[in-house]
Amino acid sequence: MSHHVTSADIAIHGDHLDNSKVAKVKILALGVAGIGTVVSLLGLFGVFGEWFQGTFAYSWVFAFYFFLTLSIGGVFWTLLHNVSNSGWGTSVRRTFENLGSTFPWIFLFGIPLLFPQVNQYLYEWMNIHRATPDGQTVKEHLHHADHLLYAKQWFMNMPFWYGRFIFYGVGLTAVIYFLRKLSTDQDTDPNPGTARLLKARFHSNYPLIIFALTITFTGFDFVMALDYKWFSTMWGVYLFAGSTLNSMAVIILVCTFLKSRGHLKHVTGPEHFHIMGKLLFAFTTFWAYIAFSQYFLIWYANITEETSYFLIRNTDGWNTGMIFLVFGHFVVPFVVLLQAWLKKNPKYLSIMAVYTLCMHALDHYLIVIPERGISLGNIKPEIFGKITPAIDGAFWGDILAFVTIGAAFLFFLLRALGQHSLYPNRDPRILESANLSN
């Protein structure tokens, strides 16, 4: 602690990002995202042939869900900050909110999944539903076609699926829009007071339920449903662990970037990075705990419906990836992040944050992509070849989708950063947060 921060150190009119300095990056990101989206949409709707359409659908789910977890995590940290009545995080809360505010935009990239042209390659249960002959109800059809889907029909049916899709989009969008507006309105209020603080706390508790439903059931509907026969009761928690961990990594990167540009002066310091580093460490361990528990129970019980997931991912090259994940996603960051000095150093902590995000990308790649060769070979062997662990050449589509949605994510994040003050300069607890000691 260099010196005690007083109200004289707080920027009265806020600490604003100079938009002209990030304009180039923003335009570049928007350009890449725009062109990439057009190309991707053409591909997803079959302009480049059915082979690309089918393989690229998986690329799209991978990239879409990867960035969605980061945005959802931003909303989660905002909610957690508010409900836990946290004092330390006030000076970085705006970064949580800015990250969360990318949610509605990233969610828009999920809209292609609504169309049969796209989801016919992803979600086989929909194909079976759609194959209902005239004069039969879906229920009657499923009773003969696939008893598993008959039993799951109360959840896996098209109207409910569309309804849930709308709920995911609208729910967290409303939550983060309201909370961010509540927070940013205070920046210019001549009489800030504590009313907004209490209001934000109250209106953050029930949205945690919306958050939990969103992270769990988007995981079920977009990812777990890639193989409708497979299920894991830990799936929601598993995705939640990766989501919170990596959104914290993004938050650390954003804060380091802002610090390097001379922002967040006086209000954030090594102590804040130490806490964020501790959260990164905690969720690295939590992820490993959940990931192992999921594997362990399935491995031990050895039930056919459950083991399919790991059988695919322990075949050929995927197995290398899975074993690498054990060391790369857990052992290495666990040992490195044990050190306190490293967590207090924004530069080293940022390196770890970038590393963690790379591991998250590998994690999500292994969640989505191994399903591609199996499903496509099952759906249309005449186009995609027979069932195989990996389809050659489909990798380039993964990169295209990742870069497209990644550029969009970067654009919307930078846009959000430039909209308001970078920390809540009139929050009643900003001084408490600035003088943090832990």
Nearer to another protein, 154 or 300 (CB): 300
**Minimum Å distance from CB 269 to another protein?**
13
DSSP 186: G
Nearest Cα residue to 277 out of 239, 242, 248: 248
Nearer to another protein, 76 or 88 (CB): 88
**Minimum Å distance from CB 431 to another protein?**
14
- Measured distance CA(417)–CA(214) in Å, rounded: 25
DSSP 225: G
Which tokens go with 191? Answer: 């009489």
Nearer to another protein, 6 or 19 (CB): 6
**Minimum Å distance from CB 86 to another protein?**
17
Nearer to another protein, 12 or 301 (CB): 301
Nearest Cα residue to 96 out of 220, 250, 207: 250
**Minimum Å distance from CB 437 to another protein?**
4
Nearer to another protein, 111 or 338 (CB): 338
Contacts of 115 (CB under 8 A, 6+ apart): 44, 45
One-letter amino acid for residue 423 of the chain: Y
Nearer to another protein, 267 or 408 (CB): 267
Binding site residues, another protein, CB under 8 A? 1, 292, 295-296, 299-300, 302, 338, 340, 437
Residue 19 dihedral angles phi and psi, to the nearest 5°: -60, -30
Which tokens go with 131? Answer: 């194959």
**Minimum Å distance from CB 221 to another protein?**
29
Which tokens go with 430? Answer: 């900003």
Cα 3 → chain centroid: 38
Nearer to another protein, 191 or 437 (CB): 437
Nearer to another protein, 302 or 304 (CB): 302
Distance linking the first and last C-alpha atoms of the chain? 11
- Measured distance CA(259)–CA(298) in Å, rounded: 45
**Minimum Å distance from CB 339 to another protein?**
9
- Measured distance CA(428)–CA(434) in Å, rounded: 12
Residue 89 dihedral angles phi and psi, to the nearest 5°: -90, 0
**Minimum Å distance from CB 347 to another protein?**
20
**Minimum Å distance from CB 350 to another protein?**
23
Nearer to another protein, 42 or 303 (CB): 303
**Minimum Å distance from CB 283 to another protein?**
17
What share of residues in the chain are helix, strand, coil (percent, to 5)?
75, 0, 25
CA angle, residues 317, 227, 239, in degrees to nearest 5: 75
- Measured distance CA(211)–CA(167) in Å, rounded: 11
